Structure 1
Amino acid sequence: MRRSTVITLAVLATAFLLVGGPSLLFSPSTDRVAPEEADEPEPEIVSFEDSDSGFWPYLNQRRTHEKRSPVNVVVRGDADRTLRLLAEHGEGDWEEPEHDHFDADEFVGLDGNETDATETNGSEAFENESEDGNATAGADGVGTEIDDRIRPIPPTEIPWSQADGATRYAYVDPGPGEDAYWTTETVQYEDGEYYGYRYHIRAYESPNPDDRWIAMQTHSEHFDWFTLRHRVDGVEAAQLRLENDLMAIPGVDVQEDVQRIYLANSGPSDADGWATQVDLTAAATAAALALAAGRTRGRGSGDGTDGPLESVRRAIDERLTDADRERLSAAADRIEAQHLILAATILTIVLGVRIGGIALDRTIDVLSAHAIAALLYPFIAAGLPISTYAIASGLEHRLGAAVTASGSLAVAIWLDYSLLGVDVLPLDVVVQRMLVVVALGLIAAGAARRATRETRFNGFLLAGTLAWVLVLAGTLLGYL
C-alpha cells in the first residue's frame, strides 16, 4: 500500500511540475471573469460622421448583447474589393474556408436535440473583465464606456467545428427611421493551417451600401487534438497581422488612411479596446507602399527570457540535497531501453498526429475535416494508452514506468504547443492535460511486471483506464 501511494504521488507530482505548475503561471486570471447582470443595457452603436449606419463593437454566438468577440478592425470601403486586395497584396495566404464543419458530438452519437443544445451553448467566447463597456465612436474615435457584465463560458464548451464557419452575429443599425437587427457575417477569411495555427477573420458589411464600411473581428487560434476543438489564443497578434496586410495594399497612405479608434471593448482575451481603421475609399491602383524594414511579424516573444520549464528546472536544482541527487542517480541507473522506447513512442504519437493532420489537410483534397479527425483522433484516444501498456509491460518497476509515461506525455504536450507558438492556456485546458498525464502514468504503472504478478487487472490499470476514458469522454461531451 505504501509503495502504491508513492507511485500515485509521483505521477501527480509529474503532472503538476511539468504541466500544471508552468501553465498556471501564464494562464488567464480568474478575476477577469465577470458575473452576469440581470438587466441588459441598451447597446451603444459605433458610427461614423459620414454614414447613417453603425454597429455594436462585439460579435456574439447568440442574438443577445453579451460581450464576447470584440470587433478590432474597421475598413472604409467595398467588402468584395477590400477582401480581394487583401488576398492579392497581403503577405498572408488569405482565403475563404473550404472545410465542412461538424460538432464534436458527432463522434459520440448524440441525438439531434443534444447536438442542438451543444451548438446553442458553444461559443468562440473570450473571457471578459467586469469593467468592459460599449462605445460610440465618432470621427475622432473617442468612445463612451458603459457597464455590461457577462456570464463566462468555459473554453471547453466550444465545439471544435465552430471555430471555422460557425455563425457569429453582429448587431447593426441601418440608421434613422429603421430598427437595428442581428446579421451574420458577409464573408470569412483564414490564413494558416486548419489542424495547426491560423488567423481567422469574420467580416460584416454595412447594411447601407452607400456608407461603405466593413466591421471585422480577427483572432488567432489553434486546433486541440485532445478536445477536438479550435481554441482562440488572442486577438492582438491577429489584429497587427491584418493591419500590416491592409497597409500593404497599393494606394493606402499609412499616415492618412490608417489610424486607431477607441471602441471601449477591451477585456475579452487580450483585446485593449482599440480597433484599427483603414480607409480604402480613396485607394487607387498605384505602386505598392514601401513598408518599414524589419517589422516584426512573428508570434514568438523572442525576448531571450527563460521559459517556464527552465525556471522550474532551476528552482528544483537549487533545492536538491546530496541525498536527493544520490537517489536520482540510482534511479537513472535503472533506465532501460524500454523506457526510451516508451518515451519516443508517446512523443511520436502526439507530434505525429499534429504533423499528420496538417499534411493530410494540405495534400489530400478528398479527405474532409470529418475524415481527417476520424482517421487521426484514435491515435490519441486509443493509440496512446494501448502502446503505453504494451511497452510498459516489458518494464520491471512500476514507478519508473509511471514517471516515464506521464513525463513523456507532458513533454510531448509542451513540444506541441511550442511548435504552434502557443504560450498561454486557459485553466480548464491545464486541468484536462494534468488529468490525462496522470491517467497515462497510472496505466503504465499497472502494466509493469511488478504490478501484474497476481493479476493483470490491478488497481493502477483499472484506475488509469477509467480516468482516461472519463476525461476524454467528458471533454467531448462538454463536461470538462
Structure 2
Amino acid sequence: MRSRRVLLAAVLVAAALAGTAAVGSSTAEPSVPPADQLVSPAGTESYVWPYTSRRQSTAGRTLALNVVVYGGPDRVRRAFVDRSGTNWTVAGQNATVGASPWRPAHGSVRYSYVTPDRGGTGRWIAPEYQLAVGAYFGDRTHIRAYPGPSGNWTALQAHTEYWDWFRLRHTVTGVEPGAAFVGRDLKDEPFVEAIDRRTHGQLGGGSDGTWITVEFAAATLLGAAVPLTRGRLSRRDVALPVAILGVVLGVRAWGLAAEAVAPGVNPKLYVAVGYPVLVVGPPALASVLARDRPPVPAALLAFAGLAVAAGVDLAVVGVDPVPTHVLQHRLALAAALGVIAFGAARTDRRVLGLGVVAWIAALAAPLVGVV
C-alpha cells in the first residue's frame, strides 16, 4: 500500500512539473516574432524571422537561417536539384556546370516566419523543399529552403548532422559547417556572381549574427527557364508539347476521316466524341507530364505546344489570314494551359485550379458568343 502511495505521489509531482513546464513554455515567448527580430534579406522588401521553429511559434525556436541565395526561387531550386540539366546562359554565353550533389531529403518540418513588410501581417511557412548530401543513416549536410514572400531570395537553414540509433533521431553537429558546405558547393559555378558574408545582427540558434549570401548572375529568359540536357531537350521535356500537338491534330484528323468514311452520319455525333477529347486531353496531359519538372519551363512548353498545335490546325483547314479574335482566343487557351502546367509542376492546387477555371472559361467564351 505504501509503495502505491509513493508511486502515486511521484506521478502527481511529475504531472505537476510537466504542466508547469508547458505553461512556462507557452507564455515565455510570443507566437509571432516581434518586429525588431525580423530581417530583410534584400534590404528593401519582404522580411523573415532568421530562425526555424518546431512549431508555428517563436517558443519552438531551433536553428538559425544561415544562407541567403539571391535569385528567382525556381532558379535557386534548380541550382540545387537540376543543376546540370539547365542551360545556364550567363553574360551572353552558355555556361557548363557540373552535376549537383544534392538529393531530396526527409526531415522534420521546421517553420519560419515571413512577411511582405515589417509592420504587415505575416505567416508561418514550412520549408518549400529539403535537400541533403550524405546518407540518412550516416552523416549528412541537410538544408531546408524558405523562399521569400516577395523579392528574389531564398533563405536556407543548413546544418551537419548524423543519425543516432540510440536517440532515434538526427543529432545536429554544426550550423556553421552546413553553411560553409553550401558556399563551397556553389562557389565555382558560372551562374554565381558573388559569395559574401553579411551581418543581420540577430544572435542565437547557432548564429553569430551573420549569414552567407550567394548572388546569382543575371540570366536571359532562355537560361533561366528552358531545361536542356547536354544542349538538347530531354525526351520528357519534348513529350509535353508533342502530346498536346498530337491531341489537337488527332481530333482534327479523326473528324475528317470519320466524315469521309460515313458522310451521312449527323456531324453532331462526331462532335460529341471529339470535343470532350479536346477539352480534357490537353489539361490532363499538362497536369501529368509537368509533374516534378521545373515550373517555368513546364509552363512555357505547354503554352508553346498548344500555340503551335492551334496554328498548324488552322493551317490544315486553310485559315489565312487568321482573324484577330480567333488568334486571341487560341492564345488565351495556351496561356491557361501554361498555368495548369505551372501549378502541376509546383504541386500547387490553387494555381492548378486557377488554370483549369481559365481553361474552361476560354473554351466557354465562344459558346456564349463572347469570342
Is TM-score (shorter-chain normalized) higher than 0.5?
A: no
TM-score bracket for this pair, using the shorter chain length: 0.3 to 0.5
TM score, norm. by length of structure 2? 0.44
TM score, norm. by length of structure 1? 0.34
